[in-house]
Chain A
Amino acid sequence: MPDATGLELIRGEVEAAHPGAVLDTGFSQERAVLSIDPAFILPVLTWLREAPGQEYTFLSSLHAADYLPASPRFAVHYELLNRDRVERLRVKALLDDPASPAGGGVGGTAPEDASATGRGGGSPAPTGPAADGMVLPEIDSCVEMFPTAEFQEREVFDFFGIVFKGHPDLTRILLPEDYVGWPQRRDFPVGGEPVTFTYNEKNYG
């Protein structure tokens, strides 16, 4: 793992190349975490992969978490790995929930491409493409850079409703295609799902 100093050096270099990209750094349980603005996810991942001295070429895991009631609410985690130095680095892209009334750009630094699409920035009106009429958070897909992310981005979309722009086939992967809702979100209740047996259908409509 890069130590706390190494992490600050990385932060400094990323800031120099992409001003405003890094929101925060964290170092706990000997793991380095770089929190970034989702608008800069591709440039930052490219930089970490290609800059000499970094070369985090292996994406070992991509997953998401819901930090409700915190804001920004979602984070997509990229667990990067450099196999020569045996170092792990977690990049966290913090995503706001555009459907919530407080939704909007990340910490006031709304990226211009998010407002251009009309879904990511500011407008809480349900105009998104989701089946249940919710506006979904968006982030650029990294499948071009890391082909391993294809299934994992589909899984994150499936369970959190985070849209990966540029993904070749962004459909539900583990849940049925006609499923409604994003079950890994914290406001989605556990249990209480009706089971459609023919008996139930006949007797309870």
Chain B
Amino acid sequence: MTVNMGPHHPATHGVLRLVVDLEGEVVRDLKPVIGYVHTGIEKSCEDKSYWKVIPFVERMDYVSFFFQMEAYCGAVERLVGLEIPERAKHLRVIFLELNRIHSHLVWLGTTALDLGAISMLWYCFRERDRILDLFEMATGQRMHTRYFQVGGVIEDIPVGFAKKLREFLTDMPVRIEQYQALLDRNEVFLSRTKNTGIVSRERLLELGVTGPLLRAAGEPWDLRKAFDYLAYPKFDFKVPVGTIGDNYDRYRVRVAEMFESVRIIEQALDGLPEGPFIADDRKYVLPPRSELSTSMESLIHHFKLVTEGYRVGPGEIYYAIESPRGELGCFVLADGSAKPARVHFRDPSFVNLQAFKDMSVGSYIADMICSLGMLDPILGGVDR
């Protein structure tokens, strides 16, 4: 029997349609059908000057907006050869890791909800709200903050932010332990996640799967460790890995990653250097507001940057970072004008979704729901 699941099924976490061939309750074949929230962001970016692309690309994967900003800004910075100040690197790490915790909390709450643990959603969203409060305090927006700029960040963190962040960092490990206490000894949760949705490490690598899914299968591959970007080499953190790569391992790896993110933020905040938060290059970075009324040159730079934007010399670059879902790559092609000729995102959800068939074929349809939750696709990122 062929069953059409979605595109509006609540367990698909977005507008994903699954064409499932069933034999009784067992999945025999499966085909994801995507494209329902395709908005043509990549095409629209071709018509925007470089600085106007930033808020656009944030809206692809709407749960990990800081990561999209970093991938895009980092790519443009490397194209124009702009070095960002140390303080900006630390601030970026703080917000990226806060965003990683936020993304994992949304995943944990909604996935546990699929498995029947409704209370988890409220606990996870309680902490998620505190992270959004922190975003709002520093950037003025709760989501899609447009905080990262080419050259650094738009403004320094406000007075009192560090104190509020430290309070959050002291509470968070306790809260994560509470989540574990709720789920780790829960018979229903354990029997539904253990030994379901197993895909071998070799097969995952063939399918190009990255992120927590790959690490759950025992492959310690993390771009934060492998490549040298931002201030990550300075910090001491571990890469959690699983053993057999079932849904339980995927859960454990993500929860362990939240602990590691808390540690990274603590170190980044402790070692936060003084100094500028954005590069001092007037060809790419807006001059400070105070100079506009006294310096004619600053006014001209400001006018040129806001009206035409800056030009980027011909070149192309692929810059990849570790997002909560895996390798998030940004490809930017510059043709010398003030608008990018192509902005392409290698979205981890899009690539990881190919492993869903391997995870589900041969298992019960209930396990398929569990596997989909543990896969953690964000359909905004899949369809772009």
Contacts and interface: CB of A to CB of B under 8 A. Distances in A.
Interface size class of A (residues with CB under 8 A): 35 or more
B221 interface: yes
6 contacts: A29-B79, A61-B346, A79-B346, A90-B318, A147-B207, A188-B43
B344 interface: yes
A131 interface: no
Contact of A190 (B47, B78, B206, B316): B47
Contact of A63 (B208, B317, B344): B344
B345 to A, nearest CB: 9
B333 A183 contact: no
A191 B43 CA distance: 9
Contact of A83 (B34, B35, B221): B221
B238 to A, nearest CB: 18
Interface stretch (B147-155, B249-257, B347-355): B347-355
Interface string B85-101: 00000000000000000
A174 B16 CA distance: 11
Interface string A78-100: 01000100101010000000000
Contacts of A148: 206-209, 351, 354
B205 interface: yes
Interface string B31-60: 000110010101110110000000000000
A4 interface: no
A117 interface: no
Interface of A: 28-29, 31, 57-61, 63, 65-67, 77, 79, 83, 86, 88, 90, 146-152, 155, 159, 172-176, 183-184, 186, 188, 190-191
Contact of B331 (A28, A59, A61): A61
Interface in B180-220: 205-210
B38 A147 contact: no
Interface string B234-271: 00000000000000000000000000000000000000
A60 B35 contact: no
Contacts of B81: 29
Contacts of B342: 65-66, 184
Contacts, number: 93
B354 A183 contact: no
B367 interface: no
Nearest to B384: A174
B369 to A, nearest CB: 22
Given A29-B315, A59-B208, A77-B318, A83 B350 contact: no
A28 B315 contact: yes
A151 B350 contact: yes
B317 A151 contact: no
B206 A147 contact: yes
Given A148-B354, A173-B34, A186 B341 contact: yes
B329 interface: yes
A149 to B, nearest CB: 8
State the 3 A-B residue pairs at the shortest beta-carbon distance, nearest first. Answer: A148-B208, A61-B346, A174-B35
B106 to A, nearest CB: 23
Contacts of B350: 151-152, 155
Given A61-B318, A86-B226, A79 B207 contact: no
Nearest to A172: B35
Nearest to B354: A151
A170 to B, nearest CB: 15
Contacts of B35: 172-176
Contacts of A29: 78-79, 81, 315, 317
A193 B320 CA distance: 33
